[in-house]
A = this chain, B = another copy of it.
């Protein structure tokens, strides 16, 4: 399993389409609302009504974001009667956020260093 950007493809540049597909995934995580939803699913599956209560977002807005996250494979769902339960599709989101948060922590540490005399 090799990454397109990092691995042995250094010689093989990415096609415009490949870049677009990857960018779409990152952009899906590039909205606070969607991160909030994903964060709310960390503890386990929730149906839409529960997510509305947890996050405070509007129903239509929430549903739209869930469809997008579903389409890009970040969440999966299970229908039970009239309810739909959403869950994180895998741990990748958590890993991705770990890296991003690590960056932020490094950044904060750098700032602190600048102001320390």
**Most interface-central of A4, A26, A39 (chain B CB within 10 A):** A26
Specify the chain B residue showing the minimal Cβ separation from A5: B97
A interface residues with partner B (beta carbon < 8 Å):
1-7, 10, 13-14, 16, 19-32, 34-36, 38-39, 42-43, 73, 91-105, 107
Q: Is the interface of A mostly helix, strand, loop or mixed?
A: helix
Contact A100 B19, beta carbon cutoff 8 Å: no
A96 to B95, CA, bound (A): 9
A92 to B14, CA, bound (A): 19
Contact B102 A99, beta carbon cutoff 8 Å: no
Contact B23 A30, beta carbon cutoff 8 Å: yes
Contact B22 A104, beta carbon cutoff 8 Å: yes
A23 to B43, CA, bound (A): 20
Contact B104 A6, beta carbon cutoff 8 Å: no
Q: Knowing that A19-B35, A73-B103, A73-B107 are A-B contacts, what are 9 other residue pairs whose CB atoms are under 8 Å apart, sorted by A's residue number?
A: A3-B97, A6-B94, A14-B36, A25-B103, A26-B26, A26-B35, A27-B27, A29-B30, A92-B102
